[in-house]
Structure 1
């Protein structure tokens, strides 16, 4: 929770007070805590000191006082990560820091966990256990992706994957990774490696290379990825979100979360808002338990009670559906759910999960290092064993993120809020039904979403007056052209009308006619000067901006010339 209202203080005062509160206090560390504290500084208005310099100063002074700045700072949001000295609990330490002038916020940091939690060592079998006409990637057709790919192949779409890294050597990721950034401060391999296996599988659901004759395809077909390997701490996640937004991600997929017993870290909430402001659609996995509290970041994107209101939500909270279009037995439900995507077969006799890419080396998922039990999830496709069956809301979330990226790439004039609502409106659900606690607004339908986005005209039409002839009998005939040209692959709504605006003798312009035709005949007075321009309006309500200068000027003689 935010601390009490405080006056702004200078940087030196803030740092000196840091040193004063680093005394011992009772330990109070939650089981999901990192043992660190997130500190957001309230720098003075107009301060010339940049966030990086402020963070460096905090590190220096806290080190001298017996604590140390550590972890990953989020410079954009003036947030640093501080580890308390021995014997000091992060919650108590954060409480003391919140009382200081110049500290905007301080809170104990949490560590998120991947949404996928295996419930059985034998999650899947090497071969599909379904009817002969059910392909490995049965969810592709059921998600409407073939229809979507008829409109857009997603070559310009960018999906940010915040997870445990990606096995960049996998053939299904060839040419699909724009950048890979390591934000995991626990050490290990860089972002192009994935010791866990979770991130590789998640990334393949979104952007595994399609139409290349190899392996599988992701929902985005031709989309490319920004990979952020995270230790899943609040600060690491927040920095990844900000970096993804700055790098031009159309959507951000987050297959992790908390249990929701503590409020979301302020820095995480602000990072999500920052991403939305930059045009990125945030998509987060709901819980991998049948509970109504989804934890953050899911409950930040669709707060409690807002799911049934289609106009509400910062982003999309995704639960998992199964082969028979029901909520998967393990998946979250309730008023924090936006919609669903396929995340499990979940039918007796069928495969235990979705088929996707997997690292070449033995993973923590298989050893049971990150989860309660190891999985026998590895599978082979055409002699290549770099695949696996995994189930969870983790698998559903990147599918939705890829669809959101397809829509944003296809129609960049749409806002994040419009994309979020569009995916809810077009989700597949029984006729006559709306939102339900089981699947939110339904199962994402990429074909319907792309079709709807294609018809959403947000581009203004254009018009231009032609140079008129001479006035006759106190009247002037004006003619114009107009057009409503949509960007490639989009459908223009068409010009509805053209407004004619006139300024007489230097006075402000006013509208004198509105016509569906291409001409108008107007009265003019002898000895007067006129300026004319047009404003086109299309059927979607988009208005052409008035031109910086009139399209044409007319001076009416005091006497009409002799004929």
Structure 2
């Protein structure tokens, strides 16, 4: 599918306008309600179910008992493929519905697209099309999986969705900025039992507001897997930005239909963890519609779904071990080993669930608890177990002072000793004065540098959009 490039928003100084959905969709054109036959063809388009081991993984787990939070534009729980999937919701923007189930922001349909790829149940064929499908039903795909063989089936069709609606991409009518929305959404998700958090959003800055630190630390302390989009070159993101750059977050890059790195629907960074399909995707739209779309916003819920499958099969497994399973079993691609294009490799759902994977001592993607004391100068306390061991400072050796010996007062013939005394006295005074000047300069320089660092902390420049093309059904 060819992408239609969206209009790029103008540069804005406000942080509330600086973050955007990871694959901001193009303005939707004419849409039609999906008829039964079209819905069935939607399932046929889901090539990733077989190519990435997802159908095979369903023999072991379908995400039962796992709650996944979708921090996005809101999720339409009335979509036929999401019936019974959404079990809780909130709005952190001040502009959406209290239950987070109405789409808001620059791309209100985005959250529903994400949710259907993650935990869509599909739906049963309509009565008036059953006779037309007798041949297919003799060997039905996904029989017994989800709610039926029509529509979009998610990676974790028995997982439960929590939706937190955020207003991103354009000025929020209520005035609540992303500095407040994102941490509020993360905390709400954790407090409401999310074991996985999906964040199909990105920024063009590798840094993030300091207000986010405590929320992501909270998620880490409560053993939650956080998955984020790498961003899209087509939307102006060349290098992944926050939240993908936050330590401990599993960042997802995008692949084309052939399993190669996508040129438009991906970005690159040393923080990439795994790569998943990001082109020729199909998902559900509010109102029971469907659309073809592309972007790492779609790749991210595929990985979040696999995390849900793992957490369902291994309920006692820590978030660090879940992430390690996903990246350790990924198929290496590109430069051998970890690289900024594919990360640790291409997603393999079946291997992530079934392979023998040695345990790790900590999250291989890092820890926000260890990052904060170093980069925020200890302003947010990390857990005691994560605190670095501080070594005692060793005092420098200082020679013992000697007792001065009294000497007779100089006589008129003792001119040279007097000159020497005054000369050495002047030399010592000069050295002390020079030291004081250098100390003052160093302090002024340090204050200036600190001011620059503080001013830069948490700044997020404006974001470009991504691509999405509607399909008439």
Q: Tell me the TM-score range normalised by the shorter chain.
A: 0.5 to 0.7
On the 8 A contact 1:407/1:453 being kept in 2, the answer is no
User: Aligned residue for 1:151?
Assistant: 60
Say which SS state the counterpart of residue 338 (structure 1) adopts.
strand
Task: In structure 2, list runs of 5 or more residues that go unmatched.
Answer: 1-10, 122-144, 169-177, 362-473
User: Aligned residue for 2:196?
Assistant: 251
User: Aligned residue for 1:325?
Assistant: 259
Mark the CA change 1:295 to 1:325 in structure 2 (over 3 Å): closer, same or farther: same
Between the aligned partners of 2:179 and 2:275, the Cα distance in structure 1 is: 25
On the 8 A contact 2:23/2:232 being kept in 1, the answer is yes
How far apart are 1:327 and its partner, in Å? 1.3
On the 8 A contact 2:334/2:342 being kept in 1, the answer is no
- The worse-fitting range, judged by mean Cα deviation, of 264-273 and 217-226 is 264-273
Between the aligned partners of 2:161 and 2:13, the Cα distance in structure 1 is: 29
The one-character-per-residue Cα deviations of 1:32-88 (angstroms, maximum 9, x if unpaired) are: 525xxxxxxxxxxxxxxxxxxxxxxxxxxxxxxxxxxxxxxxxxxxxxxxxxxxxxx
User: Aligned residue for 2:283?
Assistant: 356
User: Aligned residue for 1:340?
Assistant: 275
Task: In structure 1, list runs of 5 or more residues that go unmatched.
Answer: 1-29, 35-108, 302-313, 346-353, 361-384, 459-563
Higher helix content, 1 or 2: 2
Select the residue among 313, 334, 348 that pairs with 1:445. Answer: 348
1:294 aligns with 2:272: no
Alignment of 1:73-472 (within 5 A): 111-118=18-25, 135-187=44-96, 191-195=100-104, 196-209=108-121, 210-213=145-148, 214-232=150-168, 233-260=178-205, 263-289=207-233, 292-301=238-247, 314-330=248-264, 331-345=266-280, 354-360=281-287, 386-430=289-333, 433-452=336-355
User: Aligned residue for 1:22?
Assistant: none
Root mean square deviation, CA, Å? 3.3
TM-score by length of 2: 0.59
The one-character-per-residue Cα deviations of 1:350-405 (angstroms, maximum 9, x if unpaired) are: xxxx1111012xxxxxxxxxxxxxxxxxxxxxxxx611111111000111111112
How far apart are 1:456 and its partner, in Å? 6.8
On the 8 A contact 2:61/2:309 being kept in 1, the answer is yes
Task: Tell me the matched-pair count.
Answer: 309
Between the aligned partners of 1:451 and 1:399, the Cα distance in structure 2 is: 18
On the 8 A contact 1:124/1:389 being kept in 2, the answer is no
The one-character-per-residue Cα deviations of 1:498-517 (angstroms, maximum 9, x if unpaired) are: xxxxxxxxxxxxxxxxxxxx
On the 8 A contact 2:62/2:312 being kept in 1, the answer is no
Mark the CA change 1:239 to 1:386 in structure 2 (over 3 Å): closer, same or farther: same
How far apart are 1:122 and its partner, in Å? 8.0
Between the aligned partners of 1:317 and 1:292, the Cα distance in structure 2 is: 14
The one-character-per-residue Cα deviations of 1:83-139 (angstroms, maximum 9, x if unpaired) are: xxxxxxxxxxxxxxxxxxxxxxxxxx66421111347978999999xxx9x931111
The one-character-per-residue Cα deviations of 1:455-477 (angstroms, maximum 9, x if unpaired) are: 9799xxxxxxxxxxxxxxxxxxx
TM-score by length of 1: 0.50
1:31 aligns with 2:25: no
Higher strand content, 1 or 2: 1
Say which SS state the counterpart of residue 161 (structure 1) adopts.
strand
Between the aligned partners of 1:184 and 1:289, the Cα distance in structure 2 is: 27
On the 8 A contact 1:191/1:228 being kept in 2, the answer is yes
Between the aligned partners of 1:154 and 1:227, the Cα distance in structure 2 is: 17
Higher relative contact order (CA 8 A, sep 6+): 2
